[in-house]
Amino acid sequence: MAPATPLPTLLLIDDDLISREVIALTFEMCGYSIYTADSGEEALSLLAGTPADFILMDTQMPGISGPALLAALRAASHARIVAISGSPVPPSLAQLTDGVLLKPVTPESFEALLADTPSHPSLAPVPATTGVPLIDPDTRAKLQRMMKPKALRQIYQAVADDLGPRLTSLAVAVHANNPSQVHGIAHSIKGGCAMVGLTRTSNSAANIETSDTYETWPAELANLEADLHELNSILIIDFPE
């Protein structure tokens, strides 16, 4: 029997903690060797000592990002570079990469990209739907199969701990009517929540990110605050320590 083809080594660059942890975990569970960086600067430092076959690069990060980071990565490594994003990637940036994956990024969507099979979910913002469970049941079931209850609780606790300060900052930005800050914070919330199945929360954040109208922000901010309250209740009821 011929030996199995080894899976490629991946470097994941994403400034969002939740996205990094969930993506890395799902790829590791499928047998991939993956290491992570929370910034372009850290990624370039890591590449000096740890080669990668593929680089999964978030397209919107503080510091060096976008085309500038792509150019630096090309100079530092022969790895193929795949852009990952919670929003459609501008064509001018996409054409500089070796492929694009929209969040939530999974081993299946990555492998489909390698096989040139379209597998990108639509990320068009949709209104939060009354009656939709906070945590998508399919995503929750998948994560439950992959990890122990304590580890799963830690994931959702990390989301809650991260979401609280972000919502405080978002409320300040909304009150100041600062679109650039509002959109940036909403983008960060959207990506991390989508990775763990908080689809309703991700949709509310997407609606804020894509709206320049102040009048729409407070209602969606209230939805996000209500979702955080519900998530904390779920942690107490469904994931007791």
In this predicted model, what pLDDT tens digit does every residue of 65-105 receive, in sequence order?
Answer: 888 898 889 888 889 999 999 888 888 888 888 999 998 89
Amino acid 5: pLDDT? 67
Quickly state the pLDDT bin for 190 (edges 50, 70, 90). Answer: very high
Beta bridge partners of 55: 11, 81
In terms of Cα–Cα distance, which of 64, 63, 97, 69 is closest to 83? Answer: 97
pLDDT, averaged across the chain: 86
Q: What is the β-pairing status of strands 9-13 and 100-102?
A: unpaired
pTM of the model: 0.70
Per-residue pLDDT for 51 more than 90? Answer: no
Tokens coding 14 = 């994403």
Amino acid 114: pLDDT? 87
Percent of the chain past pLDDT 90, that is, above it, reads 51
Rounded to an integer, the average pLDDT of 41-58 is: 92
Per-residue pLDDT for 33 more than 50? Answer: yes
Rounded to an integer, the average pLDDT of 104-118 is: 83
Write the pLDDT tens digit of every residue in 2-24. Answer: 445 688 999 999 999 999 999 99
In terms of Cα–Cα distance, which of 33, 155, 15 is closest to 85? Answer: 15
Contact 134, 228 (CB under 8 A): no
Q: In order of start, what are the domains of the chain with their CATH numbers?
A: 9-114 (3.40.50.2300), 137-238 (1.20.120.160)
